[in-house]
A and B are shown apart, each in its own frame.
Chain A
Amino acid sequence: MSDHALKTLAILNSKAPYSDSAGKDSVDIALVFGSFEQPVSLFFQGDGVWQLVQGQDGSAIAVKDYLKTFSAFEFYDIEDIYVCQNSLEQRNLPATFHIEAVQVLNQRDFAERLTSHHTIFRF
């Protein structure tokens, strides 16, 4: 049981929202781990950074409440949210997101933070 404290989970998000259900599948897992009070951190790399872009509105393409699912993170104490700086720059994206508490990390810090977790899922 003492191992529980050491088992941190990182979920690495690499897909844009909508067209691929990977983003939703990933959020579902994050929220369940959060609801079980297991430590979970979220990472966004590559096209995954599109999930956090400000001003999205999926309602015109039949996606309901896309932004609302992210607001549940705070409720479950999921506060460690990291974005890869390189990925933002490659996409000409500013560091402004539709959720709070997002940390933009350079390559080295992103890598170190990700690999400081015990289990890593990637979607």
Chain B
Amino acid sequence: MTFINRQIEILIVKKLAVLVTTSPYSNLSVTALDYIETALKSNIELVGVFFYQDGVMHASKNIQIASDEFQAIQHWQRLHHTYNLPLHLCITAAEKRGISDEHNDSIHAIFTVSGLGELVELTTKADRMVQL
């Protein structure tokens, strides 16, 4: 790649948003986290991650995964704190699955309680919105 092209590439920050629909105990979520972390480490701005369908379970404090297995929540916490990665939880999908802040304070603090309107925001802000 020519010097000029490389300079232009550095200036144009690509914006990515990700829709996570898979549960914390599915290996599919390992892939989603790998994709997201890889994007964060390259020259890409992750405008946000939106959790929908079974993906909302990542936000639940009540999920307990056997200690020798993949702990998705630890990775979300690390990425959120290292990169200020916004994590948006679809509250309707969450409540359907017993996850709520109202009655039992069961949502990890790193997740922002949101609605599908936020999915619209992320989709319009990002250059690419990828569903995983």
Contacts and interface: CB of A to CB of B under 8 A. Distances in A.
A32 B52 contact: no
A21 B119 CA distance: 18
Contacts of B131: 121-122
B123 A32 contact: no
A32 B124 CA distance: 13
Contacts of B92: 28
Interface residues on A, range: 10 to 19
26 contacts: A3-B124, A4-B124, A7-B124, A9-B123, A22-B53, A25-B52, A25-B53, A28-B92, A28-B116, A29-B116, A29-B119, A32-B115, A32-B116, A32-B117, A32-B119, A32-B120, A33-B120, A33-B123, A36-B120, A38-B120, A38-B123, A38-B124, A119-B128, A121-B19, A121-B131, A122-B131
Contact of B93 (A22, A25, A33): A25
B73 interface: no
Interface in A50-74: none
Nearest to B116: A32
Contacts of A3: 124
Given A7-B123, A29-B119, 10 more contacts: A21-B53, A28-B116, A32-B117, A33-B120, A36-B120, A38-B120, A38-B124, A119-B123, A119-B128, A121-B131
Nearest to B96: A21
Interface in A35-53: 36, 38
A36 B129 contact: no
A119 B129 contact: yes
A121 B116 CA distance: 14
A28 B117 CA distance: 11
A32 B117 CA distance: 6
Nearest to B121: A36
A44 to B, nearest CB: 17
B104 to A, nearest CB: 23
Interface string B46-65: 00000011000000000000
A15 to B, nearest CB: 12
B50 to A, nearest CB: 10
A4 to B, nearest CB: 6
Contacts of B93: 25
Contacts of B128: 119
Interface in A7-34: 7, 9, 21-22, 25, 28-29, 32-33
